[in-house]
Structure 1
Amino acid sequence: MGLDYYKILKVDRNAKDDDIKKAYRSLAMKWHPDKNPNNKKDAETNFKQISEAYDVLGDPQKRALYDQYGEEALNSVPPGGGGFPGGGGFPGGSHGGSTTFQYNPRSADDIFSEFFGFKSPVGRGGTGDMGGRPGFPRGGPFSEDIFAQFRNAAGEGSVHMPRKGAPIERTLHCSLEDLYKGTTKKMKISRDVNDASGRPSTVEEILAIEIRPGWKKGTKITFPEKGNEQRGVIPADLVFIIDEKPHSLFKRDGNDLVISQKISLVEALTGCSVQLTTLDGRNLTIPINNTVSPTYEEVVKGEGMPIPKEPSKKGNLRIKFNIKFPSRLTSEQKSGIKRLLTSP
């Protein structure tokens, strides 16, 4: 049974080119024989397997052949052409024929040197072996953070970690009903990607954005690395930021809902009932038995917004009152009101 190159590099079969490079960078540094003098035999074995895996998976043509036919397909193609055992060639040739593919494995040292620009991560005798390339310091002990040595280095040998694009932020407008009940919004995006051979193309994708009950304005939903793909750059994250549309009746105050209700002076003094429809369509009748002053609020517990961390619980509904006073009173009405309000 052949080697599983994906397992060796600890990446999945859908790994992108950048993921494969990162995996090789980390594992090659860890298992380089010069860094493992007390365990050199095992280190050499691992180092060679890691290099072989990168040599295949880091090349689109070799990777395609390996994915379809496995390691044996690479080893079974004789130098100078030919095909697979039994007379078959590499499918995909012109005119319905087969395309021969010559796989010449490179040495682990050559791959490491080509990738990093030096042959060994460890200095020897105070001079080091950095391949004689400018921009690399010579000598000194090996550091776990090998790239720290080169951050301020100049010249062609400088090593640069791939940078990540700045987050792409978009506003997502939601109604108060959406934030009360929760919903799923679908967003169509278009972005540039690179195929296996590195050629750019534009793809369209539908993102399902789950809005959970009780989420507030400013909540961020992140889709990692959904920005455009560019060589040497990790795609940016796509971030949706919730904004709350104004509602015709309710206002939100944290986890509470606030509504203003008009009543007459008589209702304020003698009591009334408030009827309203909730954000999820229920009809409520709320009796007001207390005397209503201009600053009075009726609090209905558990009829506010859902609490995000505890969706089964809700804030309160607070009813504020706009008391309509009569514009004119007759002398008889004034006397009657005065008599009623001053009687024992």
Structure 2
Amino acid sequence: MVKETKLYDLLGVKSDASDSELKKGYRKQALKYHPDKPTGDTEKFKEISEAYDILSDADKRQLYDTYGLEAARRGGPMPDPNAGGAGGFPGGFPGGSGGAGGNPFASFSSGGGGGPQSFQFTSSGGGHPFHAFTANDAFNIFSHFTQSEGLGSDDDDIFGSPKGGFSQFGGGMPRRSGFRSPGGGRAGSPERSTVTVKLPVTLEDLYTGVTKKMKIRRRNRSGQSEEKILQITIKPGWKAGTKITFSNEGDALPDGSAQDVVFVIEEKPHSRFKRVDNDLTIDLKLSLKEALTGFSRIVETLDGKKLKVENKNPINPGHVIRFPERGMPISKRPGHKGDLIITIKVEFPSKLTDAQRKAIEDAF
């Protein structure tokens, strides 16, 4: 039996919910009340995020179930003012006088030899005692959740999706958990966080180069939302994984700096060509007749040019025809390109007529 169910109610789950049920509940409620949604409510979003922060941590959850919300926030049960002191702290733990007594959370104590123990009521992650949960904490938890769990395409509108000539990220840049210590508690001096955003680019744009404008919405130092357009110049030959960094263009941070925004090139699949390093590969399908007697074909290259491919002799399936300097531009070697590699695929008939079979037998 838990002491109270408020946090479980906020996530819409039962008090015996599993970790996966907690994640599902948080995901649903956080998306519903995220401040950038039409149904958004900052205070509700903050309460939901704090609920998940506590219930997703086994130690905090045990404290909450046993002693209630304030105990979970403080990292230990509220001291009993009528009880004896514990290592200089008035009240100590319930049921104990000078030492840890039977308290199950004695692991939060420190002391040497046989001297008195001193207790610091702090979260298991090492956060500051009696830390007041803020909206910034809520956004950090949400960011950590989205990065570790993923939201899927149905939820991409949280941070925006390409619209018109721009791509935009709504309602403040997604935050990383740079404000949290390795153990999960909120650290005292946050490190600069980096927002990483995938930037899908077509193979044609990576071939020719292109300039893209990305509209972002971020929070300034006063906590207000503002928009800014970032211009990204993609150079010919850039590859998937290439990073473009905009320093101090994300949300403002408590130390006066701002998040860095990093766009990472993601190559969109092409219907005809496949990129292999700096080379372009494409399959050319031939009939059995063409493979045996020769062929002449026109292949349209990635830049729209016409390339004549022909052969007058029999050719084997899997044969490779290489055209130097017809592949992708090499970004580190201006003026040079990789190769265009054409692989022959032969379409064999599924059956032969008697006349066709006889003709083949007579020919060979």
Query: Which TM-score band applies after superposition, normalised by the shorter structure?
Result: 0.3 to 0.5
- Rg comparison, structure with higher value: 1
TM-score (norm 2): 0.45
